[in-house]
Amino acid sequence: MSAGDTMRAWQVQRPGPMRSNPLRRSRIAIPVPAPDELLVRVRCCGVCRTDLHVAEGDLAVHREHVVPGHEVVGEVVATGDAVTEFAAGALVGVAWLRHTCGQCRYCRRGAENLCPQSRYTGWDCDGGYAEYAVAPAAYVHPLPIGYRDIELAPLLCAGIIGYRALVSAALPPGGRLGIYGFGGSAHICAQVAIAQVAEVHVMTRGAAARELALQLGAASAQGSDDPPPVPLDSAILFAPAGGLVLPALAALDRGGTLAVAGIHLTDIPALNYQRHLFQERRLRSVTSNTRADAREFLAFVAEHRIRLSTTEYPLDAADRALTDLAEGRVTGAAVLMP
């Protein structure tokens, strides 16, 4: 590569519903890595619901004309002068979290996901809906062996945030877990829970998603508004639908915890204290992840083979992939292949 070389990429031109075509195909300059960064050739990039929130304007604009995408499997092609831990040819993962200050009280106590100066791939900085991307070396991840590129991509956000949500849900050993919504993140999280000997019950609107849940080992699968067949010790809400908070809380047994895994949620209807929260039921949000979460999760999937349900799209069809996600036509995870 030489100065002035360009690449294919998608940029968010004007956030809005997917029917308004908020993404535009572009040719932009191949980025140059800063001293602490890597330049990677994108081998594939997962399509996350957060990308949809960026494109449709559910999340405030942090960077004009940003390139979305934060589930990047890439090959290192160049490194900044200060990088020593990665060399050209290494296979790495570029995930959502890409910067924290390291000095604030949240970072010092191990909660870097709450850092006020945190920055994110595909929102604050250009991401992986492109042929190349740059990322700080301190925030990229070595990847487990035994998985294809298309399987690795969803692990880098869907998998990591699902793992953090599972930890936040405080599921007791051998407990009953309810999962609301069954897309890219949920179908990975369910398998982690099952590997930990949990009993998993899935509530989701799509018939194909319910079938996938049962194939992966769920004890039951029903509609998103239907009650599970047993009281739940813990639950995770993956669907961005605030209206599901109430039935999820009502399904909890005494002392149960509901973790909300999304970065965006529609409004939650009014709660009834006696029905939804009394008897020490808890409602928790999940905000991003720490690098420690990522390391723990990637180590887990290296030890326990996770089955990934993926749908492949060419890079030139990124807008179609996001539209399919918005309209519920993706079972499992969508992945862009440049």
pLDDT of residue 1: 67
Give residue 4's pLDDT: 77
List strand residue ranges (DSSP E) for the chain, in order: 6-12, 23-29, 37-47, 72-79, 91-94, 97-99, 119-120, 132-136, 140-142, 176-180, 199-203, 220-222, 232-237, 252-260, 282-285, 310-314, 333-337
Of 289, 273, 290, residue with least CA distance to 281? 273
Write out the two tokens for 94. Answer: 């570029």
Sheet containing strand 176-180, edge to edge, reads 220-222, 199-203, 176-180, 232-237, 252-260, 282-285
Residue 337 and residue 72 in contact, taking contact as beta carbons nearer than 8 Å = no
Average pLDDT for residues 68-74, to the nearest whole number?
A: 98
Q: Using one digit for the tens of pLDDT, what is the confidence trace for 192-222?
A: 999 999 999 999 999 999 999 999 999 999 9
To the nearest 10°, the Cα dihedral for 210, 212, 215, 221? Answer: -20
Give CA–CA dist 67/122, Å, rounded: 6
Q: What pLDDT sits at residue 2?
A: 66
Structural contact between residues 145 and 302, judged by C-beta atoms closer than 8 angstroms: yes
CB atoms within 10 A of CB 304: 12
pLDDT at 183: 94
Would you state the torsion angle of the CA atoms of residues 12, 14, 17, 21, taken in this order, to the nearest 10 degrees?
Answer: -70
pLDDT tens-digit readout, 218-240: 999 999 999 999 999 999 999 99
Report how far Cα 74 is from the mean position of its chain's Cα atoms: 17
- The stretch 309-314 carries a mean pLDDT of 97
Encoded amino acid at 76, one letter? V
> What does the pLDDT read at residue 294?
98
Q: Taking residues 181-189, report their average pLDDT.
A: 96
Domains along the chain? 6-143+309-337 (3.90.180.10), 160-285 (3.40.50.720)
pLDDT for 284-305, tens place per residue? 999 999 999 999 999 999 999 9
- Taking 90 as the threshold, does the pLDDT of residue 173 lie above it? yes
Query: Residue range 65-69: average pLDDT?
Result: 98
pLDDT band at 3 (very low <50, low <70, confident <90, very high): low
- What is the arithmetic mean of pLDDT over 3-9? 90
